[in-house]
Amino acid sequence: MSEFTVILIKELKSIIRDPKILIAMIIVPIVITSVMYLLITQSMKQSITEITRETGTIAVLDLDQSEWSFNLINYLKEKGYTIIETCCIEDIVENIRSNRIDYGLVVLKDFSKNISENKQGLIEIYLSIRSSSMFSIYRDLRLFYSLNDYNRNLSKVIVEKYGLNSSYLFNPVLSYNNIIYKDIQIKLENPVILSTLISSTSFIYPVLVLILSSFLVQLSATSIGVEKEEKMFETLLSLPISRFKLIIVKITASILISLIGLIIYAGLFTWLLSSLINIPSVEQSVDTTVSIDLNELTNLLSKIYGLHDILLVIVCTGVFIILILSLSIITALFTEDVRSAQLTTQYLIIPVMFTMFIAIFTDISSIPIIVKYVLSIIPIANISLIQQFIFSKDYVLVYIVLLSTTIYALVSIYIASKLVSTERVLTFKIFRKKRR
């Protein structure tokens, strides 16, 4: 076995057997994601079922007492609401305040007459907001959604009574949407889906890079901290192995462990995401249940991001990971133990977090090209913009990002290996452990 393999196996064994790392990196994410999955999916399903069930008690004050007011009340009964009659508005308000009823409905005088004369029939709705939670608000508003449905149905009846086509009347203009993106053309019924999809990729990529960076720098800093804490660093430096190899092995071990972690994360994340996508949205649930096909989304995305683009993103991200790992090793070299080594990672994660969040909310398409060139060579910041550069097919900028990040990564590895070759790693301490 080469020295590289020997150290790599040792690193993997140490990391995997260390319960602190195992708990923090593997068990906790699995538990958190699973609990998140159960909580989110179950509560969403339950809430949506409750909303779509359209039940509740409505106190009705019918001041009209004629054809269309009876029609409305019967419609609500058919939808599953319990209707009770009431004598006055004060009674409605009092009952809502004391939670005895869910809603109040006052059908005003001349409601039917107005509708028959092509005027708007007037009603008043009373409801209360009982909680600040999203689903609770939707539940509180479900009578409002039911009345929207009634309105739509009534419009159809009225329009068709006059011999008109309701589809035409509600949507006199029907558009066939063609999205032109660079040299491709995509036909879409609803362009909002595509724009949402694109904006979500510009959100997901920086977040993924941030999660991955946090995960990786913790691991590499820990692997250096362990050498110091377990007092193996001096022995390691006297062993017949090149210092450069030592740094490369540390980086490789961190990447390998992170890949295992990433696969677990990605699996859990996909599971969670697909479960969420397959839950119909509240608006959809009220109207009709339509689930989004994941394959359809993938097909749409592949029309925008080709294989070449995906490879570029992967390569750039890979080089960035090597850069961030070597930087984390450099800072960890000046610490005394695992705890202080891990603390130093915040000095790297904060700028990553900062630039990634800026990238999510910034549109760089309209800024001057010279500024784009400058941004493309700023370490860390440049990688946060890679998705936007690729979307706009600015391949020159993408290659500048790749080249500059590669140079930074190589320089960082060189500095790290040179530092290990000097006595500074033993004699110079930035992050000292507090002694009691």
Partner 1 sequence: MPVLVVENLRKVFSGGIVALKNISFTVDSGEIYGLVGPNGAGKTTTLRIIATVLEPTSGNVYVNGYSVRDKPNAVRQLISYLPEEAGAYKYLTGYEFLDFIASFYTKNESEKYRMISEAIEISGLGERIGDKIKTYSKGMLRRLLVAKTLMVKPKLALLDEPTSGIDVANSVRIRDIIRKYAREYGVAVLLSSHNMLEVEYLCDRVGIIHNGEIIAEGPPRELIHKHSVRNLEELFVKLTGG
Beta strands, E only, 27-183: 56-62, 81-85, 103-107, 123-127, 177-181
309 belongs to the binding site for partner 1 (CB under 8 A): no
Q: How far is the CB of 246 from partner 1 (least distance, A)?
A: 11
Q: How far is the CB of 343 from partner 1 (least distance, A)?
A: 21
Instruction: Name the phi and psi angles at 111, rounded to 5.
Output: -60, -50
Give residue for tokens 């109207």: 287
226 belongs to the binding site for partner 1 (CB under 8 A): yes
Q: How many CB atoms lie within 10 A of CB 180?
A: 8
Beta strands, E only, 4-102: 56-62, 81-85
Q: Give the residue from 147, 150, 155 showing the smallest Cα distance to 127.
A: 147
435 belongs to the binding site for partner 1 (CB under 8 A): no
Q: Binder to partner 1 among 428, 430, 432, 433 (CB under 8 A)? A: 428
Helix, strand, coil share of the chain (percent; to 5): 70, 10, 20
230 belongs to the binding site for partner 1 (CB under 8 A): yes
Helix residue spans in 278-336 (DSSP H): 282-287, 294-304, 307-332
Q: How far from the centroid of its chain's Cα atoms is residue 423's Cα?
A: 45
Q: How far is the CB of 17 from partner 1 (least distance, A)?
A: 4
CA atoms of 65 and 111, how far apart (whole Å): 9
Nearer to partner 1, 23 or 350 (CB): 23
3 belongs to the binding site for partner 1 (CB under 8 A): yes
Give residue for tokens 């509560």: 43
Nearer to partner 1, 7 or 279 (CB): 7
Instruction: Name the phi and psi angles at 99, rounded to 5.
Output: 60, 20
Segment lying near partner 1 (by CB under 8 A), choices 70-78, 162-170, 233-241, 286-294: 233-241
Tokens for 174, please give them.
Answer: 């029907």
Nearer to partner 1, 236 or 374 (CB): 236
CA atoms of 304 and 92, how far apart (whole Å): 55
241 belongs to the binding site for partner 1 (CB under 8 A): yes
427 belongs to the binding site for partner 1 (CB under 8 A): yes
Q: How far is the CB of 234 from partner 1 (least distance, A)?
A: 4
Q: How many CB atoms lie within 10 A of CB 16?
A: 13
423 belongs to the binding site for partner 1 (CB under 8 A): yes
13 belongs to the binding site for partner 1 (CB under 8 A): yes
- Of residues 141 through 170, those in contact with partner 1 by CB under 8 A are none
Q: Binder to partner 1 among 242, 278, 289, 291 (CB under 8 A)? A: 242
422 belongs to the binding site for partner 1 (CB under 8 A): yes
The contact mask relative to partner 1 for 169-208 (x = CB under 8 A, - = no) is ----------------------------------------
Q: Binder to partner 1 among 27, 157, 164, 239 (CB under 8 A)? A: 239
All residues at 6 or more sequence positions from 416 whose CB lies less than 8 Å from its CB, including other chains: 247, 326, 329, 330, 333
Tokens for 83, please give them.
Answer: 């209707």
| Planar angle of CA 48, 58, 145, nearest 5 degrees | 40
Q: How far is the CB of 236 from partner 1 (least distance, A)?
A: 10
Q: Binder to partner 1 among 120, 129, 189, 240 (CB under 8 A)? A: 240
Q: Binder to partner 1 among 160, 234, 293, 296 (CB under 8 A)? A: 234
Q: Give the residue from 88, 112, 107, 95 showing the smallest Cα distance to 56.
A: 95
Residues that bind partner 1 (CB under 8 A): 1, 3, 6, 10, 13-14, 17-18, 226, 230-232, 234-235, 237-242, 422-423, 426-428
